[in-house]
A and B are shown apart, each in its own frame.
Chain A
Amino acid sequence: MKKIYSVQVENRSGVLSKVAGLFARRSFNIDSLAVGETEDKNISCMTIVSSGDDRTLEQIEKQLNKKLDVIKIKTFEEQEAINRELMLIKVKYNKSNRKEIMEICQAMKADIVDMSKYHIMIQICDTPERTEHFVKLLSGISIVELARTGTLALAKCEM
């Protein structure tokens, strides 16, 4: 099972290593991790995606709660949240595949953000499944570099 933990922490030095260290020490998985300041500059938000059995997923929340730098934890499953991941991909292109790349980008709502004689840089911001799918679509094209943010998630707006 997968679970998303949106963890508000004190924005202090060393907090990331404390949280990451907890996952390492207790053998919890980190599928993805994204960190950034919130609207309050004293608070950072860590979005952690983890997987495991029910007991492990419960322990993750409880152990995170024990950390004195953790202010608040919200947990949700993928369908309960809006999930987004930002990915930058640099690919090599030539005359023969340029059009194909453009078409894939268009179909997947990805943007071309930079370009040179040989390379194109593409930006895609979508759900983790779709960014993953996008990488697969590019499998015939040689990828030079790839970077992604990890999942960001907020619970869906209440009706």
Chain B
Amino acid sequence: MNGADAIAKCLVKEGVDTIFGYSGVAIDPFWNSVGKEKIKAVLVRTEQNAGHAANGYARTLGKAGVCAVTSGPGATNLLTGIATAYADSIPLVCITGQVNTDQIGSDVFQEADVTGAAESFVKYSYLIRDVKDIPRIIHEAFFVASTGRRGPVLIDIPMDIQLKRIPDFDYPLEEPKMRTYKPTVKGNAVQIKKVIKVLENAKKPLIIAGGGVFLSGAKKEVRSFVEKHSVPVVSTMMGLGVLPSDHPLYYGMVGNNGNAIANRALRECDTLMMVGARVADRAVAAPNMTFDGKVLIHMDVDPAEIGKNVGPTIPIVGDIKHIFLDFLEAEFETRHDTWVNMLDLYRDSVKEERHSSRDFVNPQSFVHKLSLAMKDTSVYVADVGQNQLFSCRNIILREKTKFFTSGGMGTMGYSIPAAMGVKAAEPGTQVVAVCGDGSFQMSMMELATINQFKFPIKIVVMRNRYLGLVREHQHHNYNDEYNMVFIGEEPELSKIAEAYGVGYLRADNMDGIDEKIGEFLSDDKTVIFEVSIDPEENVMSV
């Protein structure tokens, strides 16, 4: 047994059934060994997308996604995929081949210091120098990636170590013991009592839920809590779907791209519980936002997030699920009917505008209709740009629908490979990727992967011939002086669809849009649905 065989065996022990990646000489021993195991190896078309596909896979199953690429350019191409996962705290184990140990540092062919390059956006990285360390390192990598604040872990492994004989292979089963890594899981009991006291006295409490709720698998607990204590909920972009869109206590997404009612709730609340949310710039840059005079309760598994952006009155470090289980066990009850009624009045008075033009598809209505037509258990993956914001603002999410997007990093081209990852994880799930002209062209090469490995996904391309969100920015900030945002008439998507052997549909306006959406979603085949959007359409509520 050599090092590569050992890695493959370790991956099987960790329950890995799919690896996304690309080949190359420095990672060849690895793929050779993976080929002998019951693991599906998915060959993407560029390494970055291996990261995104593993990301979609991880978010679907709630366990670490795995990708593997070769040294040098393979590894550097993967960096964006790693950074994207890091920004959204998605657990990944990324394996990169490296040149032979004795060549490291001598700038040989396809050598790049990937552990150095990735340092500021991995949770941890390893460069394996001794074949005997393989079982320990792989075991630690999965543990680190999928506990505490989730995130990507990088394992760089030189070719000679992959080929070296491993004397005896013994895979540890117990939790790794690491003196430098002990994430806090359980919330401090005293702090929890304090929060209960505050909630009992609060007149206008509000929960702002972030991606941490999903990462800790606490959706059910959070819902039970807010229903029991009648606490209204708003979400960040990463928290979309924490409650179904039509839940009486859900008031939409906050932020400068969010819903007016959610921002109003955020402004007017007296007690704000930030639950698994970083409260980053995009979420709180809402008009007239201030936290003065509010009681701020911040719950996060990462102590460094607490106090980073806003200073909390009461911090609770811990896993959201554990914290909410503790809340549910505590004997207390609160009602906030006056506050809820007030928010309901606001909600009734604000109607999201969905004006429609005869000449184009209205993107707001389209997203609304599309999400209503999707299956209850489907996954909607939004890309980055106007398409993302149209999606966030207008999507209807149900109990079991999931919404994925690159929230923190805002990586264009995320949706199609991430949707592939969803499909790899759950072949029966309906997956829709929504992108724009720009983001589609950043990952359309994956249409070949989709066919080769049978990951049928539904792709919406909102076409307006512009990199729309930046055009909009230039419209507001540069007096309509448009630079580097017109992306041209090409390619003809019907021909792209034909070239890759996938279905094609097109809507130029709203005529018969419901039927077209119905047709688009009618089967389990890959279809590109091109929808024409007004190039002048703006999404931001300036």
Contact = CB atoms under 8 A, between A and B. Distances in A.
Interface stretch (B206-214, B299-307, B359-367): B299-307
Interface stretch (A67-75, A93-101, A120-128): A67-75
B341 interface: no
Nearest to B309: A55
Given A55-B307, A59-B304, A68 B120 contact: no
A68 B127 contact: no
Interface in A49-85: 55, 58-59, 62-63, 65-71
B307 A58 contact: yes
Nearest to A24: B120
Interface in B359-391: none
Interface residues of B, number: 18
Contacts of B120: 21-22, 25
A88 B303 CA distance: 41
Interface residues of A, number: 19
A10 B180 contact: yes
Given A10-B180, A14-B127, A71-B180, A66 B119 contact: no
Contact of B181 (A17, A21, A55, A68): A68
Contacts of A25: 120
A14 B115 contact: yes
Contacts of B180: 10, 67-71
Nearest to A62: B304
A18 interface: yes
A62 B303 contact: yes
Interface centre among A25, A66, A69 (most CB of B within 10 A): A66
A69 B179 CA distance: 9
26 contacts: A10-B180, A14-B116, A14-B127, A17-B116, A17-B119, A21-B120, A22-B120, A25-B120, A55-B307, A55-B311, A58-B307, A59-B307, A59-B308, A62-B303, A62-B304, A63-B304, A65-B303, A65-B304, A66-B302, A66-B304, A68-B123, A68-B178, A68-B180, A68-B181, A69-B180, A71-B179
Interface of B: 115-116, 119-120, 123-124, 127, 144, 178-181, 302-304, 307-308, 311
Given A14-B115, A59-B304, 8 more contacts: A14-B127, A17-B116, A17-B119, A21-B120, A55-B307, A66-B304, A68-B181, A71-B179
